[in-house]
């Protein structure tokens, strides 16, 4: 807490310094008066001319250098939050680019228990950065589409129960990293009465310090199940649009704009983005080809080939009904 307070104090002091510098420049600007139809500058002191002409760049360099140093200090403080949990931040490391991540033979032995517990390799997940890069599989035409700046804001809601902490936090980091800030209203984590201690105080302390004011945690006092948990998240949401996700996902760039644009056109729409697969053993990101989502008569979710008229249109950026 003391280190966090020092960072806050440094931020305030640097903001004051920058504001003072701006005011200083405003005071030192040349005075312009009108004489007939022409304008000319009055410089009461030659030193002012020298300062405005030659000294500003050096002062700006000094301010930028100071701000860069402050940024490094803040990043180290924030990165230290994940280290205290035994986790990693940054865009490199194992699994970078959505490639398969691996463990050493010694690590493989340690991973067996957690793998059976969670249904995926949670031990390996802890060795993969919370910010890892993943491939952008969007068709070229999708990347070229332009969207207005007045799109509605979204509240992203994650539902979890006894999920691995690293997987939950990677979902949060991924949402923040790949959702435009002006479109992301908040992230809501709904805990459907988990038993794991790391999902209690450690989770709340991390998100409150790492993303203050952006991430909310809602806790059910008893196990409610998926749909009731989603409703609790919806009750806490303040965004114009709500998006419901499992807490073991990773977002790609440009995911939000087409979704919000479609809903802006018709608020009654329910949109389901194309979902690629993250393999449970090595966290490789596996592309799913163009498909619609539907259900079998047993209500199992399934992927359906798009209808003929969609294929005939020859435009992979079109939505699939």
Domain check: are 298 and 273 in the same one?
no
Please state, in angstroms and rounded to a whole number, the distance separating the CA atoms of residues 122 and 214.
26
Asked if residue 89 is part of any domain, the answer here is no
Domain check: are 274 and 243 in the same one?
yes
* Count of structural domains, the chain: 2
Please state, in angstroms and rounded to a whole number, the distance separating the CA atoms of residues 156 and 239.
9
Give the CATH number of the domain where residue 243 resides: 3.90.550.10
Domain check: are 239 and 301 in the same one?
no
Supply φ then ψ for residue 270, to 5 degrees: -115, 120
pLDDT digits (tens, 9 = 90+) for 140-167: 999 999 999 899 999 999 999 999 999 9
Asked if residue 256 is part of any domain, the answer here is yes
Domain check: are 203 and 313 in the same one?
no
Q: Are 90 and 129 in contact (CB under 8 A)?
A: yes
Q: Which of 157, 170, 253 is nearest to 206 (CA)?
A: 170
| pLDDT > 70: percent of the chain | 78
Domain check: are 304 and 209 in the same one?
no
Q: What's the domain range around 158?
A: 146-278
Q: Are 274 and 288 in contact (CB under 8 A)?
A: yes
What's the pTM? 0.75
pLDDT, residue 35, reads 37
Domain check: are 294 and 174 in the same one?
no
Helices (DSSP H) in 160-318: which residue ranges? 165-178, 201-210, 226-236, 256-265, 308-313
Domain check: are 222 and 273 in the same one?
yes
Domain check: are 201 and 270 in the same one?
yes
Asked if residue 249 is part of any domain, the answer here is yes
Asked if residue 60 is part of any domain, the answer here is no
The pLDDT-based confidence of 220 (bands split at 50, 70, 90) is: very high
The pLDDT-based confidence of 15 (bands split at 50, 70, 90) is: low
Asked if residue 223 is part of any domain, the answer here is yes
Q: Are 208 and 4 in contact (CB under 8 A)?
A: no
Over 80: is that where the pLDDT of 122 sits? Answer: yes
Domain check: are 259 and 170 in the same one?
yes
Structure tokens at 169: 């936090």
pLDDT: which is higher, 30 or 198: 198
The pLDDT-based confidence of 60 (bands split at 50, 70, 90) is: confident
Asked if residue 224 is part of any domain, the answer here is yes
Domain check: are 274 and 298 in the same one?
no
Residue 188, number of CB atoms within 10 A of its CB:
24
Structure tokens at 18: 């920058």
Asked if residue 174 is part of any domain, the answer here is yes
| pLDDT > 90: percent of the chain | 58
pLDDT digits (tens, 9 = 90+) for 170-196: 999 999 999 999 999 999 999 999 999
pLDDT, residue 34, reads 39
Domain check: are 302 and 188 in the same one?
no
pLDDT, residue 103, reads 92
pLDDT digits (tens, 9 = 90+) for 61-101: 777 767 666 655 555 555 678 888 889 998 888 999 999 99
Asked if residue 134 is part of any domain, the answer here is no
Domain check: are 316 and 239 in the same one?
no
- Mean pLDDT, the chain, whole residue set: 83
């Amino acid at each position: 807490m003391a280190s966090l307070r020092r960072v806050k104090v440094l931020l305030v002091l640097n903001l004051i310094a920058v504001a003072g510098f701006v005011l200083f420049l405003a005071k030192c600007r040349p005075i312009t008066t009108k004489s007939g139809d022409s304008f000319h500058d009055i410089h009461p002191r030659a030193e002012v001319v020298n300062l405005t002409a030659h000294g500003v760049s050096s002062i700006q360099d000094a301010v930028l250098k100071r701000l860069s140093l402050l940024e490094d200090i803040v990043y180290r403080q924030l990165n230290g939050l994940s280290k205290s949990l035994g986790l990693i931040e940054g865009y490199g490391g194992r699994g970078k680019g959505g490639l398969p991540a691996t463990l050493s033979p010694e690590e493989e032995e340690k991973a067996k228990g957690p793998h059976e517990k969670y249904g995926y390799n949670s031990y390996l997940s802890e060795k993969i950065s919370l910010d890892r890069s993943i491939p952008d599989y969007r068709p070229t035409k999708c990347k070229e589409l332009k969207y207005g700046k007045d799109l509605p804001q979204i509240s992203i809601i994650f539902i979890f129960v006894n999920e691995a902490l690293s997987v939950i936090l990677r979902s949060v980091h991924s949402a923040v990293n790949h959702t435009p800030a002006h479109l992301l209203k908040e992230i809501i984590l709904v805990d459907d009465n988990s038993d794991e201690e790391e999902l209690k105080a450690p989770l709340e302390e991390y998100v409150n310090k790492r993303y203050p004011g952006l991430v909310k945690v809602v806790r059910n006092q008893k196990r409610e199940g998926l749909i009731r948990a989603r409703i609790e998240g919806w009750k806490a949401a303040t965004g114009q649009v709500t998006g419901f996700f499992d807490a073991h996902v990773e977002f790609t760039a440009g995911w939000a704009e087409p979704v919000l644009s479609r809903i802006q056109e018709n608020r009654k729409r329910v949109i389901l983005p194309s979902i690629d697969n993250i393999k449970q053993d090595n966290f490789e990101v596996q592309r799913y080809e163009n498909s619609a989502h539907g259900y079998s008569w047993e209500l199992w979710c399934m992927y359906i080939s798009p209808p003929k008229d969609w294929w005939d249109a020859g435009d992979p950026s079109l939505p699939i009904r």
